[in-house]
Amino acid sequence: DAGVIQSPRHEVTEMGQEVTLRCKPISGHNSLFWYRQTMMRGLELLIYFNNNVPIDDSGMPEDRFSAKMPNASFSTLKIQPSEPRDSAVYFCASSLNRGRENEQFFGPGTRLTVL
Amino acid sequence: SQQGEEDPQALSIQEGENATMNCSYKTSINNLQWYRQNSGRGLVHLILIRSNEREKHSGRLRVTLDTSKKSSSLLITASRAADTASYFCATDARGNEKLTFGTGTRLTIIP
């Protein structure tokens, strides 16, 4: 398996533009997580899905952020409009929720820079 | 402060020495996991210890868990240059698969 795939790997955009980050989880995994990592705030969970359904979006910063999972093999995180403070590395992770053991597999991340 | 906090924030040791990192958390947990992150990469799962376990080994890794003190330690024996990375603990609350990550320990192995 190729692991979790994220695209793009790097994104540079100007303030006010729409940004869409993409994630393909590991085949067979039923949970998907979006994280944001910055030096100041560390690794923060933004939202997670189980069986394509959003379970917890309490970490989504504000209405400018939205996430979808239209099927088991694809998810998007959209920021509209983007702001400089959104600059961070965004990680997608997936796991096979087997009850007590929920090891997560991370993608390589998308480094977002908003100018 | 965060659910998981690692101590120390940064650690530099000579190759071949042992490295110990600690993690403290605040609420009851289902299990505790340790992850490694190399610079510019995603996190990689290292080891999971359940709340009813006290110690676990995997290769050169040894993890302990003290639920009474709400703390865990990760020991890397016979360190190698390739162990240079940041190490994070992560906890999940009972009945919730959401993980809360600590602030991380940046480990540097000096060749």
Q: CB–CB of A32/A75 below 8 Å? A: yes
- The nearest CA of chain B is from the CA of A104 a distance in Å of 7
Q: B14 at the A interface (CB within 8 A)?
A: no
| Confidence tier at B3 by pLDDT (50, 70, 90) | low
How do residues A63-84 score in pLDDT, each as one tens digit? 999 999 999 999 999 999 999 9
Phi, psi dihedrals of residue A86, rounded to the nearest 5°: -80, -10
Residue B45 bridge partners (DSSP) = B35
The model's confidence at residue B4, banded by pLDDT at 50, 70 and 90, is low
Using a pLDDT cut of 90, give the percent of chain B over it.
75
A7 pLDDT higher than 60: yes
Whether pLDDT at A51 is above 70:
yes
Mean pLDDT value across residues A46-59: 94
The pLDDT of residue B93 is 74
Across chain A, the runs of DSSP E, i.e. the strands, are 5-7, 10-13, 19-24, 31-38, 42-50, 53-56, 65-71, 74-79, 88-95, 105-106, 110-114
Dihedral sign of CA atoms A78, A81, A86, A89 in order = positive
Q: In chain A, what percentage of residues exceed pLDDT 90?
A: 86
Residues of A with CB under 8 A from a CB of B: 4, 31, 33, 42-43, 45, 48, 50, 55-56, 91, 93, 95, 97, 100-109
CB-based contacts of B44, cutoff 8 Å, min separation 6: A106, B35, B36, B37, B38
Q: What is the pLDDT of residue B2?
A: 38
| Strand A19-24 with A42-50, pairing | unpaired
Question: Mean pLDDT over residues B15-42, rounded?
Answer: 93
| Contact assignment for B31 to A101 by CB distance below 8 Å | yes
Phi, psi of A85 (to 5 degrees): -70, -10
Helix, coil or strand: residue A86: helix
3-state secondary structure B96-110: CCCEEECCCEEEEEE
How far is A6 from chain B, CA to nearest CA, in Å? 11
Q: What is the reported pLDDT for A102?
A: 82
**What is the structure's pLDDT at B1?**
32
3-state secondary structure of A73: coil
**Strand bridging mode A53-56 / A42-50:** antiparallel
Say yes or no for a CB contact (<8 Å) between A102 and B97.
Answer: yes
Chosen for mutation from A38, A102, A105, A110 (greatest number of chain B CBs closer than 10 Å) is A102
Q: Sorting pLDDT into bands at 50, 70 and 90, what band is A26?
A: very high
User: Is any Cβ of chain A less than 8 angstroms from the Cβ of B6?
Assistant: no
* Mean predicted confidence (pLDDT) in A29-36: 96
pLDDT beyond 70 at A100: no
Minimal CA separation from B48 to chain A, in Å: 8
Q: Compute the radius of gyration of chain B from its Cα atoms.
A: 13
